[in-house]
Copies of this chain bind each other. A is one copy, B any other.
Amino acid sequence: MKAEIITIGDEILIGQVIDTNSAWIGQQLNPLGWDVTRITTISDTADAITQSLDNGIKNSDLIIMTGGLGPTKDDITKKTLCAYFGVDLVFDESAFKNVERIFNHLKREITQVNRDQALIPANAKALQNNFGTAPGLWFEIDNRIIVCLPGVPYEMKDILSNFVFPQLQKRSVDIVSHRTLVVSGIPESLISEQIESIELGLPAGLKIAYLPNYGVVRLRISGKGKDATLIESQITKAVSAIEAILGKYVIATSDKRIEEIVGSLLTEKQESVSVAESCTGGYVAHLITSMPGSSAYFPGSVVTYSYENKTEVLGVDAELLWNKGAVSQEVVEKMAKAVKLKNNTNYGVAISGIAGPSGGTEDKPVGTVWMAVTNGINTDSRVYQLRGDRRQNIERSGNLALEMLRQIILT
């Protein structure tokens, strides 16, 4: 069962907005046995919508279209769908009740623009939108399903979860399964060489994808077919064979982010961590606290951005700061030890660097980042020379620091 996602919106084409909706939809459809074979982003013009529908209907059993259902003038999806199917817009009682419900709640007057949200193509079924006035639309034409949804992420997700996914699950025929190994400390090309014989010997329906990102490579082993037990056992066999070869480089056997891996380790060991951040400015704390339940192992942290703050909050010697610079081994080690002590945690992590775009010197160019981790007995520190822009340097530093934390937890 092939699915296709069409996202409507000039704001995506000009890069003002990143399309996160399609990624979410892809994630959900896959385990339901629907294969997303194409994601297309198009302009909100009638021509582009018509052409993409034509293309989609040729290739796919299901088209999920998002965007272009809002109340404003640049939203022309409904009219184009009517023209495409040769039907009129009709007033839908249930969709209007929903508009009323929302406006009563907001204590606002319903305007004509809002009322028009309840007009839907005559061949569509309206899907309840709990969080907005634009209903989702469900079409079934010649054994193909076309679903149109508002582009607002939480509205789109709610409608899909409540109405669309349960329907799709009933209608799927293939079983799809994935497992991901997270590999760290070995480059993609070397992994590829080492597991070449495994890849060449994979049974039909199984494949391995390499997903490299910031020093970590995710290996995704996926299988597809009619027999769930067979697929699972084939995947398990491939995973074991890869694990046997890559050994300690495999840092997780499911698709986890480094903050999740670290969080699980700390939870399991009933240990805790605190962080002192300079150049990452709160990003490491944000990664850690993005995990539900992180309050069990993370009491808090500090961002010490200024020299004064490093001295006052963490007791870093002012003379040391001026002699060695804030971006130095001595300073990050002191910061890591101080924050551990201050928060009474098992581990302390500290990062100080030059994220850019300015602030670099000849000795310490933009992208120089010192980081340290301590468990109270041993303190490990490293310097990295990163080469991204400010945002990338911050994100990469955060990931690298958590990887150092993972290693010290395991010692």
Bound-complex Cα distance A15 to B284 (A): 24
With an 8 Å Cβ cutoff, the count of chain A residues facing the other chain is 100
How near does chain B come to A345, taking the closest CB pair, in angstroms?
11
Residues B305 and A302 in contact, CB atoms below 8 Å apart: no
Is A15 touching B25 in the complex (CB atoms < 8 A)?
Answer: yes
Contact segment of A86-94, A185-193, A238-246: A185-193
A199 adjacent to chain B (CB < 8 Å): yes
CB distance from A71 to the nearest CB of B (A): 5
Cα distance A188–B281 when bound, in Å?
A: 33
Query: For A38, A41, A131, which residue has the most chain B Cβ atoms within 10 angstroms?
Result: A41
The answer to whether B23 and A17 touch across the interface, beta carbons within 8 angstroms, is: yes
Q: Of residues 229 to 263 in A, which have CB atoms within 8 Å of B's CB atoms?
A: 255
A220 close to B391 (CB less than 8 A): no
Are A13 and B40 within 8 A (Cβ)? no
A290 with B394: CB separation less than 8 A: yes
Task: Report the Cα distance A44→B211, complex, angstroms.
Answer: 13
Determine how close the nearest CB of chain B comes to the CB of A395; give it in whole angstroms. Answer: 10
Cβ of A283 under 8 Å from chain B: yes
Contact, CB under 8 Å: A23 / B15: yes
Would you call A303 and B289 a contact (CB within 8 A)?
A: yes
With a 10 A CB-CB cut-off, give which of A14, A193, A207, A298 has the most chain B CB atoms. A14
Q: Which of A121-129, A136-144, A163-171, A306-314 lies at the interface with chain B?
A: A306-314
Q: Does A323 contact B (CB under 8 A)?
A: no
Chain B residues with CB under 8 Å of A40's CB are 38-41
Q: Which residues of B contact A270 (CB under 8 A)?
A: none
Task: Give chain B nearest CB distance to A257 CB in angstroms.
Answer: 11
3 tightest CB-CB pairs across the interface, nearest first? Answer: A281-B289, A282-B285, A15-B27
A-B contact pairs, 30 of them (CB 8 A): A10-B209, A12-B23, A15-B22, A15-B24, A15-B25, A15-B28, A15-B30, A18-B18, A37-B42, A38-B42, A70-B210, A74-B208, A113-B189, A113-B193, A154-B387, A280-B289, A282-B283, A285-B303, A286-B286, A286-B394, A289-B394, A290-B394, A293-B358, A295-B306, A299-B305, A299-B309, A300-B303, A300-B304, A301-B302, A301-B305
